[in-house]
Structure 1
Amino acid sequence: MKKYKIFIPIILMVVIPAIFMTFISFFRFSTTLDRKLSDAFFHILPSHHFFSKDIVIIDIDELSIAKYADHPELGQWPWKRHIYPTLIGYTKLLTPPKITIIDIMFTERSDYDEAIVTANESLGEISHAANFRDGGIVIPRQGINEISQRFRVNLQTTLPFPQYENASFPIGKIGETAPMVHVVNVRADSDGILRRFSPVVMWNGLYFPTLALQAFVLGEPYQIETMDSNLLLTKENLKRVVPLGKDGMVRAYFYSEAELRNIPRYSASGIIESLEKLNSGEVEDPNDLLVPPSLFENKIVLIGTSAAATHDDVVTPHGLFPGVIAQAVFASNLTEGHLLKELPESYGISFTILVLLIGVLILFINQWHLLKNLYPIIAISMFVGLFYILYRMDFVISTYSFVLGFPISYLLGFAYLTYTEGKEKRKFNNILRNLVDPGVVSVALENMDSLKQGGEWEITAFFSDVAGFSTISEELSATDLAKLLNEYLSAMTLVLKSNSGTLDKYIGDAIVGIFGAPIQYKDHPKMACKSALEMLSELEKLRTKWNENNEFTPLARAMVFRIGLNCGLAKVGFMGTDSLASYTMMGDSVNLAARLEAAAKDYGVSILVSESIESVCKDEFHFRFLDWIRVKGKEAPVKIYSLESLQKDVTDVMRQAEREYELGFEMYLGRNWEKAIEHFQNVSKLYQREDISSHLLIKRCQSLFQNPPPVDWNGVYTRTSK
């Protein structure tokens, strides 16, 4: 494709989609759209991370609340706080858990706070929930109390983290005696879906750990610092790099929906019941209990709620789940290193533009049609493949640019391709419909590139010319000459097309045709022979009509033509300019056909063909051998034949006459001029008319008798004229 022609596809397939992508990004629609699209891909692609085996949940579920709604020690929700030390203590009956993290807030006073205080002081590693929020009365910095100073994270950074206006820590002595405190607040994205979390949050210029961070550090000493745009956590020999986004939050890996539903959750009612049976002596072996204490050995235990009455549900990429499930996912992400890094939008846009540029090459430069048809599959496969490879490496590439840009690019490119190819098809159709039978045109146009490029293959070249047309034209007026020529050419061209021939051109009264192109037929020599014989019959009909109507002059009504046929390799294709092109043929085999048409006059035959035609058509058509000749411009001799009829129409007289001719030619080659002349004379007697071919050979024998040829003479006659 020319340079100026490729400019439009680039505009349509690259520039316009790029402008649209820029528009989406400029108005900040891209981030939410990206995350929604990536959620969809995460659902489709197989998981490569699995939920941590170290995390379990004690769940205050619907069964627990319903079962103990009338219990004097618990009552309706919220339960009395002395139950929590019971639940925590049960997990420590055998080997204690690594840490117990409570996802229930004790930010208001109750009559049972002392039980929580006692648990804090005696049961070990417990982390209590703090509630951070926006709105209400903003507490100034001087209002920061001892609890907040004790539990803050020692972090110095300029990176942004989620920031809140107010904070509520565990109340009174619960907070004062709490071994650890974590913030349970989470922030959903603008579409209301919780996808991200932060290891720390900010209040009053101080940083505080979230539940996920407490699950990672397990109450042990650790270091926290920022490095570039990442958060670096170090604990003993374990390092965790947290890839932060622009707002200090990290994309969570939400596993599969099945995994979320199969997170180990043990009903609080089951624990209470198990403890009652153990205390009453009903069950002696703890392993036989409904919820054995061994389930919590060396685990990270989260205590939370899933009952509807607790109003602690969040919307995740997998739908509505209890908040404690989301917190468990964040804890698993940080402890196992299952953290996703959202790559900058520019990465996705760059990849998309690369794919769009490849699309331009495939649609408008590439000549392989199958590749054009496979282009959408290839592009989508490239994108999905790249997305999955990066996803396996815990990177998330921007998707909106491809998901929106590629369809726009493909539709615009395909529409323009359809328009341009349709334009070219209309152009070539206008040319071909005058050259080829309409039934052939549609087939030829199916492969436009092949049609435009052409090629070199075996065809049969057809040349015909009216004998003595110059004399005929001198006798007729311009009107009659045009009428005669139009009738003749129309009838002959119709025969040509009906036999799947292609009209190359008219040269005055001459017709040039091609058999075997643009569609490559195997039997193109036979098609040409059939067409030539039918033209003889059609001309006879025209002469009968002209004589009956007394049209034109006697010479015109007696019109005859000559045809030359040759089969061989030739270059075929459209040649000319964009505005004026014709489908034509070139090559030595074409030139020979033209020479044969001219030579037909010398031998007095209507259809003169080469041996290449006779050898493949002799089973269906009858040919008469005439001579060995060397045409002008070629050194190699050619064996020529006259196409006489179909095999079924051959008569005994024809066979006898042709046998006499062949005997005469044998004598001619043997330099027995007198015997040769005798046989050639017998041919005319058998036909009962002068046989011009025989007469030609008689004259040649007489000449050679008077002027004997050289010793190395082989009987080949060299024509000196075209």
Structure 2
Amino acid sequence: MKQKKYLLPFFLMVLIPGAILGLLSLFGLSNTLNRKLSDSLFHLFPPHHQFSKDIIIIDIDEQSIAKYADHPELGQWPWKRHIYPTLIGYTKLISPPKVTIIDIMFTERSDYDDALVAANLNLGEISHAANFRDGGIVVPRKGEEIISEKFSVPLPTDTPFPRYENVAFPIGQVGETAPMIHVVNVIADSDGILRRFTPFIRWKDKHFPTLALQAFASGESYESEWKEGRFRIHKDGVEREIPLGKDGLVRAYFYTEAELRNIPRYSAAGIIESLNELNANEVEDPEKLLVPPSVFENKIVLIGTSAASTHDDVVTPHGLFPGVIAQAVFASNLIEGHMLRELPEIWGIAFTLFILVIGVVILFVNQIHFLRNIYPIFAISMFVGLFYFLYRLDLVLATSSFIIAFPLSYLMGFAYLTYTEGKEKRKFNNILRNLVDPGVVSEALEDMDTLKKGGEWEITAFFSDVAGFSSISEELSASDLARLLNEYLSAMTKILKSNSGTLDKYIGDAIVGIFGAPIQNKEHPRLACKTALEMVSELEVLRAGWKEKMDYTETAREMAFRIGLNCGPAKVGFMGTDSLASYTMMGDTVNLAARLEAAAKDYGVSILVSESIETACKGEFHFRFLDWIRVKGKEAPVKIYSLVSFVSELTPIILEAEQKYEEGFQFYLNREWEKAISSFEKVSEIYGTPDVTSKLLIKRCQALFKNPPAVGWDGVFTRTSK
């Protein structure tokens, strides 16, 4: 049965979200969402990598375009090509860079191509840009085969790198004399954001290095290896394993936006101006130039554009940036080994399902409400903590599974929990609202688990019974008897509930009540005593009304009741069936309260209580000691008291009479029967009315005088009836 109880929550919170995740993954709908969500999380976390210090950019920026707007050769874009050897030559004035990588394509013929050819032959480590594309008419170009054979990298044909149909190499002699060639293609994700790059591009089953790989090689030889789904590059004792995805792309670590904006970039205009000053001998120390040539020493130099008119912008996770910045990020990733490995989506789904199963346990198995309340915080913290831990290891956990499934699972689980608990609350509310005050009902329903489970704790058991009710019932018609009972029980139950008492049950005219449950209340003995006295007063009001209206019979109008109170440990809780249950109490404490109610008749008192009640409440209420008795079924003697009144309502006559009674009881214990009888007789004289308790003790003394008790008699009276 317990297993069946959890089947529906498991279905709602685990199986349904799991099926949705499976469908999203199957149709490939979650990849872009995974990357978008991970971008957002990356922005929240502190960086753990820094941009490479080996990369520097020569930027044809807005300043360069604007400064030379009227120049005959630099006044419009694209610049004439003989300016590029000038820029490259400047970087080699003092100590050359490792490599110069041009992020500008020279795929169309120009009158100044000879300058680039001369630079290729004389200035050394230069890499020119090639561009690949799909579609259009494939028109073979002169020198294309020579260039492709010269610069392609031998790799197996089963590599996953992106493949293109057409290629645009540097034109003619520029490409044929180029020391190196790299591909500048970048591949954005389906949402248009550039997050990933590839080390190689394929054309005609040939592989060509991208700008990032050319930066990593820095003009030196390298070896690349594709084996068993892993791609490695070796150079000068440095090995990089590149965590390629199935499409041959790798996720880039994009550093911070501030780092991207602070990549060392030197304006082409600044270099030209510095060169002019140097040629004019205006500056003796090259280090005082606007762009000192030494900044390029042993660096990887990228030549690119950021001016708006060059139209070379891309969308990155940090927003719009020049394409050369994105290329610099990819180069830094490969040089420093900062690439991110996107874990298979099944990892994210498995983690999510694990969290969802924990959710079922916390919401439906666990009984600690605090855990239920912090479950969303716990789950989100687990997810963020694991994501961050893996991110620090350059691993990216698929996020969409958790982001989609957890809210869905939690909402369905919480809705089901609310429905089931609401159903149970309505059930128990229907029971409790007739038993206790509405305020107590609301408080009790706050902790349904404790309410259903019940327990054993300190309570005060309350029993009341109308004296001689059999005679009353015989004198009244059925309708009058019902009306009398309704009037009496309604008035008494109202008092019981108003003092936080719980109605256990009615037994004919008898009322059984509980104080201190279902809401535990340390004041339960005091509240029970207050209830008993208020009931006595209320009965007087009822009797006065009946007499005034001459309602019912004379016996009914003189109705009296007896109350028994006892406090101590008892088992309390709902007992019965799902369809028919009541909140009740059981135990010796309860049994003794019932015996005290019955014994009150013998002593002629309205409220008979145990010593535990007297001890707990004697500061506020006045109790009269009556006797030591042994109730049926129990060997231990019980000290019993009559609840007389509030302490504030005491009179000297009451105190004098009780003092005389206690004097007589001491004589009784000392077996001085005559003295005891004398004292007990004076009690009635002091009260001015016959005292039933004193008469009871007088008869007991007379019987013991005739038949003295055995040696060892302790004065405890044993009741033989309930």
**Above 0.5 in TM-score?**
yes
- 1:139-538 equivalent positions in 2, closer than 5 A: 145-538=145-538
CA contact (8 A) 1:139 1:165 kept: no
SS at match of 1:46: coil
CA contact (8 A) 1:69 1:77 kept: no
CA contact (8 A) 1:229 1:243 kept: no
1:16 is aligned to 16
AA of the residue aligned to 1:186 = V
Aligned mates of 1:556, 1:72 — CA distance in 2:
125
Aligned mates of 1:67, 1:656 — CA distance in 2:
117
CA contact (8 A) 2:144 2:169 kept: no
CA contact (8 A) 2:143 2:172 kept: no
Q: What per-residue deviation string (whole Å, max 9, x for no partner) do you get for residues 306-363 of structure 1?
A: 1111111111111111110011011001111011111111111111111111111111
SS at match of 1:339: coil
1:531 CA displacement: 0.7
Aligned mates of 1:305, 1:621 — CA distance in 2:
95
2:48 is aligned to 48
AA of the residue aligned to 2:550 = N
Are 2:40 and 1:25 aligned?
Answer: no
AA of the residue aligned to 1:301 = V
Report the CA distance shift for 1:72/1:143 in structure 2 as closer, same or farther (over 3 A): closer
2:604 is aligned to 604
AA of the residue aligned to 2:343 = L
Number of matched residues? 722
CA contact (8 A) 1:103 1:302 kept: yes
Aligned mates of 1:576, 1:293 — CA distance in 2:
94
1:377 CA displacement: 0.7
Moved more, 595-604 or 155-164: 155-164
CA contact (8 A) 1:57 1:303 kept: yes
Moved more, 412-421 or 539-548: 539-548
AA of the residue aligned to 2:435 = L
CA contact (8 A) 2:198 2:248 kept: yes
Aligned mates of 2:611, 2:390 — CA distance in 1:
68
CA contact (8 A) 1:59 1:268 kept: yes
SS at match of 1:463: strand
Among the aligned pairs, what percent are the same residue? 74
Q: What per-residue deviation string (whole Å, max 9, x for no partner) do you get for residues 163-199 of structure 1?
A: 1111111111111111100010111111111111110
2:60 is aligned to 60
Aligned mates of 2:159, 2:488 — CA distance in 1:
91
AA of the residue aligned to 2:42 = F
Are 2:564 and 1:564 aligned?
Answer: yes
1:477 CA displacement: 2.2
AA of the residue aligned to 2:371 = L
1:143 CA displacement: 9.1
Moved over 3 A (4+): 139-144
1:227 CA displacement: 2.8
Aligned mates of 2:460, 2:227 — CA distance in 1:
79
Aligned mates of 2:405, 2:136 — CA distance in 1:
45
SS at match of 1:20: helix
CA contact (8 A) 2:153 2:206 kept: yes
Aligned mates of 2:639, 2:75 — CA distance in 1:
117
1:659 CA displacement: 1.3
Aligned mates of 1:142, 1:351 — CA distance in 2:
56
AA of the residue aligned to 1:548 = E
AA of the residue aligned to 2:241 = V
Q: Which runs of 5+ in 1 are unaligned?
A: none
1:83 is aligned to 83
1:283 CA displacement: 0.6
CA contact (8 A) 2:142 2:172 kept: no
Q: What per-residue deviation string (whole Å, max 9, x for no partner) do you get for residues 611-635 of structure 1?
A: 1111222222121110011112222
- 1:579-590 equivalent positions in 2, closer than 5 A: 579-590=579-590
AA of the residue aligned to 1:604 = G
Aligned mates of 2:704, 2:293 — CA distance in 1:
126
Aligned mates of 2:217, 2:620 — CA distance in 1:
96
Report the CA distance shift for 1:141/1:113 in structure 2 as closer, same or farther (over 3 A): closer
Aligned mates of 1:693, 1:189 — CA distance in 2:
97
CA contact (8 A) 2:164 2:203 kept: yes
Length-normalised TM-score, structure 1: 0.98
Aligned mates of 1:510, 1:195 — CA distance in 2:
81
AA of the residue aligned to 2:631 = V
Q: What per-residue deviation string (whole Å, max 9, x for no partner) do you get for residues 583-636 of structure 1?
A: 111221111111111110111111000111112222221211100111122222
Aligned mates of 1:617, 1:170 — CA distance in 2:
104
Aligned mates of 1:527, 1:295 — CA distance in 2:
89
2:107 is aligned to 107
Aligned mates of 2:502, 2:435 — CA distance in 1:
5
Length-normalised TM-score, structure 2: 0.98
AA of the residue aligned to 1:46 = P
1:130 is aligned to 130
1:662 is aligned to 662
CA contact (8 A) 2:58 2:267 kept: yes
Moved more, 610-619 or 102-111: 610-619
CA contact (8 A) 2:135 2:166 kept: yes
Aligned mates of 1:549, 1:141 — CA distance in 2:
123
CA contact (8 A) 1:141 1:204 kept: no
Q: What per-residue deviation string (whole Å, max 9, x for no partner) do you get for residues 676-718 of structure 1?
A: 1111111122223321111111111112112222221111112
AA of the residue aligned to 1:310 = T
Alpha-carbon RMSD across the aligned residues, in angstroms, is 1.5
Q: What per-residue deviation string (whole Å, max 9, x for no partner) do you get for residues 1-29 of structure 1?
A: 93222112112111221222223223322
CA contact (8 A) 2:629 2:638 kept: yes
Q: What per-residue deviation string (whole Å, max 9, x for no partner) do you get for residues 496-538 of structure 1?
A: 1111111111111111111111222222211111110111111
Q: Which runs of 5+ in 2 are unaligned?
A: none
SS at match of 1:414: helix
AA of the residue aligned to 1:86 = T
SS at match of 1:520: coil
CA contact (8 A) 1:63 1:269 kept: yes
CA contact (8 A) 1:501 1:515 kept: yes
1:423 CA displacement: 1.3
1:121 CA displacement: 1.0
SS at match of 2:546: helix
Aligned mates of 1:603, 1:210 — CA distance in 2:
107
CA contact (8 A) 1:609 1:643 kept: yes
1:144 CA displacement: 5.4
AA of the residue aligned to 1:230 = R
Moved more, 17-26 or 27-36: 17-26
